[in-house]
Amino acid sequence: YAKPGATTWLYMTEGPSGTPEEPAFISWPYGDSITWSFGIHPAEDRIHWIEVGPWWELIFYNICTYTINGDMLTFEEAVSKRSVKTKFSYYRDSASMFHGIVNFVSRFGANTLEAESILREGNDVKTEGEIAYIEGRYDEAEDIMDEAIGMINEAMDEARRAKDTALLWIYISEWMVTSAVALISGTILWWLMVRRELYREVATTQLRPR
């Protein structure tokens, strides 16, 4: 049950007979701020709210903002907020893939300085997008993240080109070594089996008494 002084915003219903109804979302003052508690019924066997889908996060966010000052996101703001978060996730996954490619090709001496420079610029732009997102400027944050995603895609392309160049030289080196070995082996075989320059022909073999 909610402690004295707490505000209950939501209730969970249809619980067991002993506790058919329990507080679901509670807030109470904490100094100059406010804190929340959100949970599920102790006997709840249905899927947790956070696992239902990404839109539940926005519902939770709206509840929090409403308890502070009565404000709520409009539908357009909610869609934009969700879109920006999706782009943050895309950028994070792309950056992780980028570092994997760079770590791999660096072992072969690939030059990834240009790609890494582009990524650093993209990270700076992403930071601007995060600031705009935190401040609630979702449309602006989305535009900024579009720019950041374009930069990380460019960095990925540059990293792939560095990888292809490094591997091309490896393939050429291996081909040259293989060709050289084959040429040397063929030359030796020709001298031994065809020209037979290392052999001396013997016309007659006989035993000589000592």
pLDDT digits (tens, 9 = 90+) for 134-155: 888 989 999 999 999 999 999 9
Check whether 12 has a pLDDT greater than 80.
Answer: no
Percentage with pLDDT > 70 across the chain: 77
200 φ, ψ (degrees, to nearest 5) = -120, 125
The conformation of residue 203, written as its DSSP 8-state character, comes to: S
- Virtual torsion, Cα 51, 57, 59, 60, nearest 10 deg: 100
What is the distance of C-alpha 105 from the center of its chain? 18
pLDDT of res. 50: 54
Half-sphere exposure of 131 (CA within 13 A, CB side): 6
Average of pLDDT values for 160-167? 80
The confidence band for 107, taking pLDDT boundaries of 50, 70 and 90, is confident
Average of pLDDT values for 183-206? 67
Strand order through the sheet with 22-30: 7-12, 22-30, 33-38
Cα separation, 128 vs 139, in Å, equals 13
The answer to whether 122 touches 148, Cβ cutoff 8 Å, is yes
Cα separation, 88 vs 78, in Å, equals 15
Mean pLDDT over the full length of the chain: 78
Predicted model pTM: 0.60
Average of pLDDT values for 17-41? 72
Cα separation, 49 vs 60, in Å, equals 9
By residue count, the chain amounts to: 210
pLDDT of res. 93: 93
